């Protein structure tokens, strides 16, 4: 505890001692009343101040806990100011039928809500949003109870005894509810929060005891302001500051536990029970013939009005629930789609890994006999052969060379191993790829358009492998457009969030099965013109770069290949710094 907190605590503890000395040394009269009222006022100011400082020093559910607690003590302070106005300013006792007694009655409602919030649990903004509606329902219900049980005897049919009896009974129920909530919080919490709840329980129990003793003294006409009966009250007020100082040691995220679903359900159930209890109160007023008619009329009108207000709030809560349900449905659908995409990528990666091992071994085994066949066919071609024989040797040589090209493709597919990566620019790679395919563009009557951003952040990758991907996709697009007599290819690169996106699109016929183009050995080319391993190799390269590659058909026609690669760490900050330096 800091020096300032120790000094604060010392001053607060000195005030109950001052109150005790005044009760011992001063007779009943105005000076004793002033000392007692001012002492209670200062202690309440101290409590509100320390709780407000806790609000500023906390966040989330903890902040809401201290906000509600400070609201409760602030209401108590407002009532004490009214009390001081009568006893010190007007030098008269507070009226028996006092309209603003409701302020004192309601000061415990925010405190009950604060305990029900369970600040020692993990935060849940959705639960807090619904909890605010439930708290509003319970607050209105408590106000309704006061208006139903107490106010009729103040205005509809004035009766001091009935007023005091109902007010004390209702206030006692409220104190029991608060004490029970604090006891429950004390049992369910640990460490610092257990200490906080324990001290709150002690302060509330002391105050409840002082109220009970003061009521007994009032019944015997022995109570007066500043008497010994006020000492437990003053002690409970000083205890509030002690709790606030203890609470300053709690930091956000400290000693947090999971918020139980059972707790959320019971809070909502209490709000519903409060709502559905209103017709029972109306029935009670209608059947009770012992109360005066003005009281019955007042209660029936009050109950109907409260039903309308709380019904509107229940409707509002239902709207929030519907909105939350739709949000959860959309989130679940999106999660399901993401799961299917991840599953498809995982299956594709497993296929590539398994086939890579199989193909690599098979290709090495085939390469040696193919080399021998090539050599023997060349030797055979150099001997004296007839024209039919020479034609057959040429065909054998052609098929052997075709088989060697296939084996080379298989080896290229199998050798997708992690390589040394450096910072590379996708813009430069895309520009190099377009230059390499430039000769084919004129031959196949294909127009090329580029939209490559110049200030893209670099990515971590192998420039040769990424260039291979770009060239292969561009060649595929050129071949697809050649089937329809030409067309246009568009290459664009831009940044989206923490990824650099490179897109190849064309206005050709599109992919027949875009979801299968990355499958090994899948091809739509005629037999002998494609192995179906090129795009599979591209897929493996992009995956090995922690990126994503997808193919889909555009609504306006043609295919679109989209490559996403993560921005290199610290690249964005470096590029921003470079741009700033260049501007100066």
Asked if the structure places residue 200 within a domain, the reply is yes
Q: What is the mean pLDDT of residues 327-339?
A: 83
Q: Give the pLDDT band (50/70/90) at residue 200.
A: very high
Residue 133 counted as domain residue: no
Model confidence at 281, pLDDT cuts 50, 70, 90, reads: confident
Domain boundary among 374, 398, 414: 414
Residues 391 and 374 occupy one common structural domain? yes
Are 185 and 226 part of one and the same domain? yes
Q: 85-89, 378-382, 510-514: lowest mean pLDDT where?
A: 378-382
Single out the residue in 414, 448, 479 at which a domain terminates.
414
CA proximity to 352, closest of 513, 521, 466:
521
419: which DSSP letter?
A: -
For residue 429, being part of any structural domain is answered with yes
Could you give the number of structural domains in the chain?
A: 3
Q: Are residues 386 and 506 in the same domain?
A: no
Is residue 203 one of the residues assigned to a domain? Answer: yes
Give the model's confidence band at 37: pLDDT under 50 very low, under 70 low, under 90 confident, else very high: very high
Do the domain assignments include residue 148? no
Location of structure tokens 């409760």: 72
Q: Which of 364, 389, 414 is the C-terminal boundary of a domain?
A: 414
Residue 482 lies in a domain: yes
* 306 falls within a domain: no
In this structure, the answer to whether residues 46 and 175 fall within a common structural domain is yes
Lowest mean pLDDT among 129-133, 559-563, 573-577: 573-577
Look at the block and give the residue holding tokens 């067309």. Answer: 487
Residue 538 domain-assigned (yes or no): yes
Across-strand partners of 502? 493, 563
Q: Using pLDDT thresholds of 50, 70 and 90, give the confidence band for residue 255.
A: very low
Output the pLDDT for position 128: 53
H, E, C per residue of 143-182: HHHHHHHCHHHCCCCCCHHHHHHHHHHHHHHHHHHHHHHH
Instruction: Output the pLDDT for position 80.
Output: 92
d(CA 163, CA 124): 42
- Does 459 lie in the same domain as 365? no
Lowest-pLDDT choice from 36-50, 120-134, 464-478: 120-134
Q: What is the CATH number of the domain that holds 464?
A: 3.30.565.10
* CATH number of the domain within which 398 lies: 1.10.287.130
Cβ-count burial 204-239 (b if 16+ within 10 Å, e if not): bbbbbebbebbbebeeeeebbbbbebbbbbbbbbbb
pLDDT at 527 (0 to 100) = 46
- Compute the average pLDDT of residues 111-134: 67
**Residue 78 confidence (pLDDT) above 90:** yes
Q: Would you state the pLDDT for residue 526? A: 53
Looking at the fold, whether 457 and 390 belong to one and the same domain comes out as no
Tell whether 434 and 406 lie within a shared domain: no
* Nearest residue to 166 via CA among 150, 153, 177: 150
| pTM of the predicted protein model | 0.57
Q: What percent of the chain has pLDDT over 90?
A: 20
Q: What is the mean pLDDT of residues 31-41?
A: 93
Q: What is d(CA 487, CA 531) in angstroms, rounded to the nearest whole number?
A: 25
- Which residues on adjacent β-strands are paired with residue 552? 560
| Mean pLDDT, rounded, for 438-458 | 85
Residues 519 and 543 in one domain: yes
Query: What was the pLDDT predicted at 48?
Result: 95
CA–CA separation, 150 and 429 (whole Å): 82
Q: Are residues 404 and 499 in the same domain?
A: no
Domain containing 219 equals 3-124+159-258
Residue 555 has pLDDT above 60, yes or no: yes
The 3 state secondary structure assigned to 365-405 is HHHHHHHHHHHHHHHHHCCCCCHHHHHHHHHHHHHHHHHHH
Over the chain, what is the mean pLDDT? 81
Verify that 74 and 21 share a domain, yes or no: yes
Query: With contact defined as beta carbons under 8 Å apart, do 448 and 407 qualify?
Result: no
Task: Say yes or no: 447 and 519 in one domain.
Answer: yes
583, pLDDT greater than 50: no
pLDDT band of residue 51 (cuts 50, 70, 90) is very high
For residue 354, the model assigns a pLDDT of: 61
Please check whether residues 378 and 502 belong to one and the same domain.
Answer: no
């Amino acid at each position: 505890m800091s020096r300032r907190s120790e000094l604060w605590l010392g001053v607060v503890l000195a005030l109950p001692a001052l109150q005790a000395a005044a009760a011992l040394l001063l007779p009943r009269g105005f000076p004793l009343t002033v000392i007692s009222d001012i002492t209670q006022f200062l202690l309440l100011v101290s409590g509100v101040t320390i709780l407000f400082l806790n609000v500023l020093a906390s966040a989330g559910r903890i902040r809401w806990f201290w906000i509600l607690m400070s609201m409760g003590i602030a209401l108590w302070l407002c009532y004490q100011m009214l009390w001081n106005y009568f006893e010190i300013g007007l030098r008269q006792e507070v009226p028996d039928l006092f309209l603003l007694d409701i302020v004192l009655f309601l000061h415990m409602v925010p405190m009950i809500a604060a305990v029900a919030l369970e600040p020692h649990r993990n935060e849940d903004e959705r639960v807090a949003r619904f909890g605010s509606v439930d708290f509003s329902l319970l607050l209105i219900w408590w106000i309704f109870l006061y208006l139903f049980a107490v106010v009729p005897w103040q205005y509809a049919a004035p009766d001091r005894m009935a007023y005091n009896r109902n007010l004390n009974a209702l206030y006692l129920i409220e104190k029991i509810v608060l004490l029970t909530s604090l006891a429950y919080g004390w049992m369910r919490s640990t460490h610092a929060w257990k200490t906080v709840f324990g001290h709150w329980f002690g302060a509330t129990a002391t105050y409840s005891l002082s109220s009970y003793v003061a009521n007994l003294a009032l019944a015997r006409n022995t109570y007066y302001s500043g008497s010994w009966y006020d000492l437990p009250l003053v002690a409970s007020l000083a205890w509030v500051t002690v709790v606030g100082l203890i609470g300053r040691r709690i930091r956000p995220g400290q000693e947090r536990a999971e918020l139980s679903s059972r707790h959320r359900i019971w809070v909502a159930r209490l709000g519903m029970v409060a709502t559905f209890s209103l017709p029972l109160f109306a029935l009670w007023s209608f059947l009770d013939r012992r109360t005066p008619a003005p009281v019955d009329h007042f209660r029936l009108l009050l109950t109907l009005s409260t039903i309308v207000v709380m019904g509107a709030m229940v409707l509002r809560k239902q709207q929030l629930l519907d909105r939350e349900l739709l949000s959860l449905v959309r989130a679940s659908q999106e999660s399901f789609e993401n799961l299917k995409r991840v599953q498809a990528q995982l299956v594709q990666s497993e296929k590539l890994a398994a086939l890579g091992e199989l193909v690599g071994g098979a290709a090495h085994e085939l390469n040696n006999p193919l080399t021998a066949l090539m050599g023997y066919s060349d030797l055979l071609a150099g001997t004296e052969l007839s024209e039919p024989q020479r034609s057959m040797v040429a065909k054998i040589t052609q098929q052997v060379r075709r088989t060697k090209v296939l084996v080379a493709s298989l080896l290229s597919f199998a050798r997708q191993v992690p390589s040394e990566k450096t910072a590379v620019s996708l813009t430069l790679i895309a520009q190099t790829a377009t230059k390499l395919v430039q000769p084919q563009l004129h031959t196949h009557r294909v127009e090329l358009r580029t939209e490559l951003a110049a200030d893209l952040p670099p990515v971590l990758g192998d420039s040769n492998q990424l260039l291979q991907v770009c060239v292969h996709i561009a060649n595929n697009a050129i071949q697809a457009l050649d089937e329809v007599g030409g067309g246009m290819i568009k290459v664009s690169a831009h940044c989206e969030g923490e990824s650099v996106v490179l897109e190849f699109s064309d206005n050709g016929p599109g992919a027949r099965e875009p979801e299968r183009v990355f499958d090994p050995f899948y091809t739509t080319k005629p037999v002998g013109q494609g192995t179906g391993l090129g795009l599979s190799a591209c897929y493996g390269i992009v995956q090995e770069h922690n990126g994503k590659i997808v193919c889909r058909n555009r609504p306006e026609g043609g295919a679109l290949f989209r490559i996403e690669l993560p921005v290199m760490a610290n690249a964005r900050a470096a590029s921003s710094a470079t741009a700033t330096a260049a501007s100066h």
